[in-house]
Structure 1
Amino acid sequence: MSDIRIQKTGEPDILQTSDGRLTLSVPIQIKRRSGRKLVTLPNGETAPVRPWDVAPTSIQLALARGHRWLAMLESGEARSLKEIATREGIDNSYVSRMVNLTTLAPDIVAAILDDVLPNHVTLFDLAVDPPALWDEQRARLM
């Protein structure tokens, strides 16, 4: 039976016991990137890019939804956020929070799209009651 233990320090090693079993020790680091986990080896290498690594993150999708719903309001396609929520079959408070994302500072939006937001920033932090001033938004993220 295999036993997996994660250790953050140490050197790669292979140990052989008297009964013939092998123990392989590979120090790795697991980092959260916008809800995804990324395994980093001690030399800084990461796994090659896979199709699921380039899929949009949940924050990127939320930003896109917010802009789409705001465009629906501005064009007259929908008369209210409640109407959009009814069409989409979701809660109107969710629609409101996603539309709030359209007021974010341009550098924050760029960080979302480039997937370089700090790991501690969540969608909730960005969407719920964002400050109107961009400097205050930036200060909240630090």
Structure 2
Amino acid sequence: MSDIRIHKTGASDIIASSDGKLTLSVPIQIKRRSGRKLVTLPNGETAKVCFRDTTATPLQLALARGHHWLALLESGEIKSLKEIATREGVDNSYVSRMVNLTTLAPDIVAAILDDTLLNNIILFDLAVDPPVLWEEQWMRIKSALST
């Protein structure tokens, strides 16, 4: 912890306790603007807005559907992909492709959730017959980017 440096600026207070721990008190204000909460710092600046509360992308929605449908299957609430398709009013192959997304590599899933996967990657590239090996999944994505 010796590489941590604290510089006191503005109206923040640093209080040392008897056990050697430090407490940092920073006066902030939380204001509502257009239904969003904004944090105003002591120097009057507004903190960066986190974009995690934006509308989900189509890939994120597809991933969520796939995991939800797989959970229904695993719990026994639904007996087959065909039953999900009938219940949701969609094609069997669509349900199958969404459930295929649950086998994606964790770093690909993270890229989808963080919306950092390049825009040329489409649902078809990820959901139709995905390779079992995660390295091969990345090779498919790289291949899709080069076309």
- Large movers: runs of 4+ above 6 Å: none
For the residue of structure 1 that corresponds to 2:83, the secondary structure is helix
Inter-partner Cα distance in structure 2 for 1:139 and 1:84: 31
Shift of 1:120: 1.4
Give the letter for the 2:131 counterpart: P
Inter-partner Cα distance in structure 1 for 2:98 and 2:141: 18
Inter-partner Cα distance in structure 2 for 1:118 and 1:57: 12
Structure 1 unaligned runs (5+)?
Answer: 1-47
| 1:103 aligned onto 2:103 | yes
Deviation digits for residues 51-101 of structure 1, max 9, x if unmatched?
Answer: 9x9200000000000000000000000000000000011111100000000
Give the letter for the 1:103 counterpart: T
Give the letter for the 1:102 counterpart: T
Deviation digits for residues 94-131 of structure 1, max 9, x if unmatched?
Answer: 00000000000000000000000012110110000100
Inter-partner Cα distance in structure 1 for 2:141 and 2:124: 12
Inter-partner Cα distance in structure 2 for 1:137 and 1:118: 15
Deviation digits for residues 28-51 of structure 1, max 9, x if unmatched?
Answer: xxxxxxxxxxxxxxxxxxxx97x9
Structure 2 unaligned runs (5+)?
Answer: 1-47, 143-147
Inter-partner Cα distance in structure 2 for 1:85 and 1:77: 14
Alignment correspondent of 1:21: none
Greater Rg over alpha carbons, structure: 2
Alignment correspondent of 1:44: none
Alignment correspondent of 1:123: 123
Structure-to-structure mapping, 1:42-61, within 5 angstroms:
54-61=54-61
Q: What's the Cα RMSD here?
A: 1.7
Q: Could you tell me the percent identity over the aligned residues? A: 75
Alignment correspondent of 2:84: 84
Inter-partner Cα distance in structure 2 for 1:57 and 1:103: 19
